[in-house]
Each structure stands twice: as structure tokens, then as C-alpha cells.
């Protein structure tokens, strides 16, 4: 069973309401869509702990509303026909799929609660949510809808905490870079200084550079902001890449300026 809904140009709210009314004829919701909603809710709930307790990822609270808004706007701007198909799986297949999904959910949640490589488990949960979401869009609207919603769905990954093996080397490199750049600028303005590991040695004492001052927090938020602004203004791919690099450079520059100011005041 399928329902064909013709999309009209532009983000017409009336067209969206007509589309929603036409979907009421579907007697069954595709099971893949239910799985996508379930995994997405699970992913948000799993990430919420990090958003609340880790200042580096406090911006994550803004990502789910942006994902929803970007996805809704892209659906309204879609110009292709969207095909909604009802679930046609047999009962044994549904039962076996439900058992397999329950086993995967139990194992992942148990590993997450027991803190067994929590970031890796968290990324597995979020990647499953992304995969099921894209599969649901493909199931409901074909490959065209899946491609249309690819960016909003994958944009959620900007709020997922980085694994320590990936984050810590970057933070350490940023600390060294900020310290070296600050010392060089201080030399230019006639201030005696030298690097001392993750600190700056001044005649008046040491100025420590923590991870907060290294730029890792601004880097992560800058990546999210650059991607979000590119989608907000519907920029071309080249301009989105340029905006992303500008956001990263701005984040690093502001942290360098803050460290330089602290060193001058010390």
C-alpha cells in the first residue's frame, strides 16, 4: 500500500498541512520509523548526561531542536513526490526483529551504564539512530527523501562527545600551540616569556593553560555553529566549507586572545 503526496514548491504551511492530512489514510506506521524514533530518543537521552555535566558539550542542548527544524524545512522545500509505504513484514519477521533489537539495546545500555568505553558505546547508539532515521526516510519517501534529510540527521553527531583517544591528543596539541603562539606574541611586544609544558613562564610567575583555554571547547562548538549557519542560510557546499573553516579559526583566535590577555595581566 502506498500513498503518493505531491510536494509543491516553497515552504508553504498550507501544503504541509495538506500533506499531513493525506497521510492519515495510512493504517500502519512503518516499523522502521518507530525504530528510528526510539533510537533517536535513546541517543538524545544518552547524550543529555554529557551535555549537562561536561561544559565542553553544553551546546548539545541546542542541537536536537536544530535537527528537527532543519529536517522540517527541508521536507517543506522538497519538490519531489514522497511515497509513504505501510509495513508489510510478516509476524515471524517482526518478532525476530523485535527480539534482536531488544538484545542489542540491552547490551548497549548495560555497557553504557557499566561505563565500558562509554564514548564508544555512545557513538554506537547515535550511529544506530542516524542509520535507522535515514532508513526510515528511505522507506517512507525513497532515496530522494533520504538524500534530502541526510544533513539534518547527520548534524546530530556534532553534539556527541568525542572519544578520549581522539579528543585528548587534540586538546594537548592545542595547549602547546596556544602556549607557543602566546609566547611569540609576547616577545613581539617586548615581554619576556617562555613555554613550560602546558604553561607560560613569565617574570611574575606561571600562567597555566587548561583545556578550557586550549580552544577545544570553542573548537567543538565552532564546528557545530559553522555547519548550522551554512544550513540556516542554505549556502552552497563551497561556502559551507569556507564558513566552517572561518568558525574554527575564529574559535582558535578568541582563545589565543584570551590567553594573551591573561598573560599580559599576570
Q: What is the pLDDT of residues 48-58, one digit of tens each?
A: 999 999 988 99
Mean pLDDT, rounded, of the chain: 83
CB atoms closer than 10 angstroms to residue 3: 16
**pLDDT at site 89:** 61
Are 115 and 71 in a shared domain?
A: yes
Q: Is the separation of the CB atoms in 240 and 181 below 8 Å?
A: no
pLDDT band at 262 (very low <50, low <70, confident <90, very high): confident
Are 30 and 54 in a shared domain?
A: yes
Are 19 and 89 in a shared domain?
A: yes
- Looking at 132, 159, 186, which one is the last position of a domain? 159
Are 128 and 169 in a shared domain?
A: no
- 153 has pLDDT over 80: yes
Are 134 and 212 in a shared domain?
A: no
Q: Which of 18-22, 42-46, 195-199 has the lowest mean pLDDT?
A: 18-22
- For 39-60, letters b (16+ CB in 10 Å) and e give bbebbbebbeebbeeeebbebb
**pLDDT at site 82:** 58
Are 130 and 240 in a shared domain?
A: no
Give the pLDDT mean for 224-239. 96
Are 137 and 83 in a shared domain?
A: yes
Are 168 and 98 in a shared domain?
A: no
- Looking at 102, 127, 159, which one is the last position of a domain? 159
- Looking at 142, 159, 176, which one is the last position of a domain? 159
Model confidence over 83-134: pLDDT tens digits? 555 545 667 776 787 788 788 888 888 888 887 678 889 999 999 999 999 9
Are 86 and 42 in a shared domain?
A: yes
Are 139 and 38 in a shared domain?
A: yes
Beta-carbon contacts of 79 under 8 Å, excluding residues fewer than 6 positions away, are: 7, 8, 9
**pLDDT at site 8:** 43
**pLDDT at site 220:** 93
Q: Taking the model in full, what pTM does it have?
A: 0.83
Domain assignment of residue 54, given as a range: 2-159
Q: Which residue has the higher pLDDT, 40 or 79?
A: 40
Listed residue (73, 67, 82, 83) closest to 13, CA to CA: 73
pLDDT band at 238 (very low <50, low <70, confident <90, very high): very high
Are 44 and 142 in a shared domain?
A: yes
- 60 has pLDDT over 70: yes
pLDDT band at 149 (very low <50, low <70, confident <90, very high): very high
Structural domains in the chain (count): 2
Model confidence over 135-144: pLDDT tens digits? 888 888 778 8
pLDDT band at 203 (very low <50, low <70, confident <90, very high): confident
Are 141 and 80 in a shared domain?
A: yes
Distance, in Å, from the CA atom of 19 to the CA atom of 4, rounded to the nearest integer, reads 10
Amino acid at each position: 500500500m502506498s500513498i503518493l503526496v505531491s510536494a509543491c514548491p516553497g515552504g508553504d504551511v498550507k501544503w504541509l498541512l495538506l500533506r499531513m492530512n493525506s497521510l492519515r489514510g495510512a493504517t500502519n506506521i512503518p516499523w522502521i520509523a518507530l525504530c528510528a524514533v526510539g533510537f533517536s530518543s535513546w541517543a538524545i537521552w544518552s547524550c543529555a548526561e554529557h551535555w549537562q555535566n561536561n561544559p565542553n558539550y553544553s551546546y548539545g542542548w541546542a542541537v536536537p531542536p536544530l535537527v528537527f527544524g532543519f529536517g522540517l524545512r527541508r521536507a517543506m522545500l522538497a519538490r519531489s513526490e514522497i511515497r509513504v509505504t505501510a509495513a508489510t513484514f510478516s509476524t515471524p519477521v517482526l518478532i525476530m526483529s523485535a527480539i534482536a533489537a531488544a538484545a542489542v539495546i540491552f547490551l548497549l545500555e548495560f555497557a553504557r551504564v557499566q561505563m565500558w568505553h562509554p564514548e564508544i558505546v555512545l557513538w554506537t547508539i547515535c550511529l544506530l539512530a542516524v542509520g535507522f532515521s535515514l532508513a526510515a526516510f528511505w522507506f517512507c519517501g525513497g532515496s530522494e527523501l533520504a538524500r534530502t534529510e541526510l544533513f539534518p540527521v547527520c548534524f546530530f553527531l556534532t553534539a556527541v562527545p568525542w572519544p578520549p583517544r581522539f579528543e585528548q591528543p587534540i586538546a594537548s596539541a592545542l595547549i602547546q600551540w596556544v602556549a607557543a603562539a602566546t609566547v611569540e606574541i609576547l616577545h613581539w611586544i617586548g615581554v619576556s616569556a617562555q613555554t613550560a609544558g602546558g604553561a607560560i613562564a613569565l617574570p611574575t610567575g606561571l600562567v597555566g593553560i587548561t583545556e578550557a583555554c586550549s580552544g577545544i571547547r570553542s573548537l567543538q562548538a565552532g564546528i557545530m555553529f559553522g555547519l548550522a549557519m551554512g544550513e540556516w542560510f542554505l549556502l552552497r557546499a563551497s561556502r559551507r566549507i569556507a564558513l566552517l573553516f572561518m568558525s574554527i579559526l575564529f574559535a582558535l583566535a578568541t582563545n589565543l586572545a584570551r590567553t594573551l590577555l591573561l598573560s599580559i595581566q599576570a
